[in-house]
């Protein structure tokens, strides 16, 4: 079984029932709904569609709502501005009227307050590079460093600049509320800058009675500087290489990715590598060899999940993209991984119990791990230690926990009812695996569960052999 999970962004290319069915059948584990483009009505339609298809195909599929976040954008222009190197471009805020030929408004009122003379301003995904040369009350004058054409509503990045925007906009709050109402499994916060941003999202989810996992998207320098604290606060971390690749020098991006993945595994948090994995496949049926190598590196680093964005939301070959990730991940996993789990921190007795089970499974041929959980913690701990060969079968009575485990490396979640007798629950799970031909005679089952000791239940590791 493939251990690295696949996340697909849904959009116009993949919203139809038959296409979603194909994506699930070909290996999609989680579907991302990008609220930068999705409407509330579309989300209300697509969530039950995903749930129904997952049930029909008897697959565990999670749903991730990705907030737009506090994006800074230019305003509309009547016609694209032709910018040459050395030209000046004026940015205006708070309704100030233009005083230059090349002038554009900005949707963020404190834009002028936050920037300083000499700061870099990157527009349209970094294609347009500018330098601030003058600022006044409601306007800033910038020198154009790269020739380009500026259209309407283009995204602005401010590398190294502290932004005063709140972590959740009114739109984000409405979108998170909608996701909570529909029972989505994960909510991603865009442009996380500090751990407190995640606390605000978690508080909102709690007020909306949602237990969705909080995903921290690492997209700017401020987040990189606070990465360890952010990892500790988040449930899951996403290396969002699109904006991050604009905010940091390009040669630093692979190093930052590796450092984040390594720290997430060390600190016991699932990690997603996202953006531009198979960008050329938006229009081409086969990927570039460089893209294959990029995917292979993320799999070798043992990221929990790898994510497709435009490739599946608007691309021409969404199902083929999933097939490529499936093939590459399965092959690279057989060749071994980076071994970052050797530095995983084990802080409590339960983590150490799981570690003993993983050591045992690693030492046995044809080993499989069976983990019984009500809240998902034990399977996540097991996943974080990256067992060398054994699949992790996670049994839970909770449908919510089952779906939340869909994002974790090497975990195959299964919902079963738990008996008051732990041994009876284990017997039921063993029979299910045997009936579905997921185990065979001679397999070694390393079991992490509780056992009854008089009136108490205690954690236990067992070894059984399939007869």
> What DSSP string runs through 33-65?
EETTT--HHHHHHHHHHHHHHHHHHT---EEEE
User: How many distinct helices (H) and strands (E) make up the chain?
Assistant: 16, 21
Length in residues, the chain: 467
Q: SS3 for 6?
A: strand
**Nearest alpha-carbon partner for 382 in 339, 341, 338:** 341
Which among 452, 429, 448, 449 is positioned nearest to 439, based on CA atoms? 429
Give the whole-angstrom CA distance, residue 267 versus residue 346: 9
Query: Contact at 8 Å (CB) between 91 and 135?
Result: no
Task: Give CA angle at 374 (371, 380), nearest 5°.
Answer: 50
Separation between Cα atoms, residue 366 and residue 19, nearest integer Å = 36
Q: Pick from 416, 35, 410: which is nearest to 215 by CA?
A: 35
Contact 178, 132 (CB under 8 A): no
Catalytic residues, by residue number, are 32, 73, 217, 275
Cα–Cα dist 365/53, whole Å: 36
Cα–Cα dist 155/71, whole Å: 7
Q: How do beta strands 186-189 and 156-157 pair?
A: unpaired
Q: How far apart are CA 414 and CA 397, in angstroms?
A: 8
Tokens coding 170: 């009114």
- What DSSP line would sit under 142-197, residue for residue? EEE-S-EEE-SS-BEE-TTPPP---SS-HHHHHHHHHHHHHT-SEEEETT--SHHH
Q: What are φ and ψ of residue 80, in 5° steps?
A: -55, 140
Structure tokens at 198: 């995640």
Bridge partners (DSSP) of residue 155 are 73
CB 434 within 8 A of CB 443: no
């Amino acid at each position: 079984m493939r251990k690295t999970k696949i996340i697909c962004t849904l959009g116009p290319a993949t919203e139809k029932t038959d296409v979603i069915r194909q994506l699930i059948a070909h290996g999609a584990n989680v579907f991302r709904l990008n609220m930068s483009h999705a409407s509330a009505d579309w989300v209300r339609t697509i969530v039950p569609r995903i749930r129904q298809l997952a049930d029909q195909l008897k697959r565990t599929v999670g749903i991730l709502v990705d907030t737009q976040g506090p994006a800074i954008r230019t305003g509309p222009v009547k016609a694209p501005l032709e910018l040459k190197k050395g030209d000046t471009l004026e940015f205006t805020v708070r309704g100030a009227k233009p005083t230059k030929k090349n002038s554009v408004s900005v949707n963020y009122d404190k834009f002028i307050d936050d920037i300083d003379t000499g700061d870099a301003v990157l527009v349209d995904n970094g294609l347009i590079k500018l330098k601030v040369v003058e600022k006044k009350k409601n306007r800033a004058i910038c020198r154009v460093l790269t020739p380009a054409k500026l259209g309407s509503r283009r995204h602005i990045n401010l590398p190294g600049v502290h932004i005063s925007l709140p972590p959740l906009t009114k739109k984000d709050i409405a979108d998170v509320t909608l996701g909570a109402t529909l029972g989505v499994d994960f909510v991603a916060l865009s442009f996380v800058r500090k751990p407190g941003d995640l606390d605000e999202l978690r508080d909102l989810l709690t007020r909306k009675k949602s237990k969705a996992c909080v995903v921290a998207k690492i997209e700017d320098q401020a987040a990189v500087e606070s990465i360890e604290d952010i990892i500790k606060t988040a449930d899951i971390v996403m290396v969002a290489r699109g904006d991050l690749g604009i905010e940091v020098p390009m040669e630093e991006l692979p190093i930052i990715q590796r450092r984040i993945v390594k720290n997430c595994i060390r600190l016991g948090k699932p990690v997603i590598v996202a953006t531009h994995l198979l960008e050329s496949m938006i229009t081409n049926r086969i990927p570039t060899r460089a893209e294959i190598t990029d995917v292979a590196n993320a799999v070798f680093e043992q990221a929990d999940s790898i994510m497709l964005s435009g490739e599946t939301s608007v691309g021409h070959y969404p199902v083929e993209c999933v097939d490529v990730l499936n093939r590459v991940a399965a092959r690279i996993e057989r060749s071994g991984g980076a071994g970052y789990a050797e530095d995983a921190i084990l802080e409590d007795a339960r983590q150490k119990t799981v570690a003993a089970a993983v050591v045992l499974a690693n030492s046995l041929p044809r080993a499989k791990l069976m983990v019984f959980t009500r809240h998902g913690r034990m399977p996540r701990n097991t996943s974080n230690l990256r067992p060398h060969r054994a699949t992790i079968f996670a049994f839970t009575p909770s449908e919510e926990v089952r779906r939340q485990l869909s994002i974790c490396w090497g975990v195959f979640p299964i919902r079963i009812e738990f008996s008051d007798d732990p041994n009876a629950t284990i017997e039921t799970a063993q029979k299910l695996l045997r009936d579905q031909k997921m185990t065979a005679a001679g397999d070694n089952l390393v079991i992490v569960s509780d056992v009854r000791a008089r009136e108490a239940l205690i954690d236990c590791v067992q070894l059984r052999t399939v007869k």
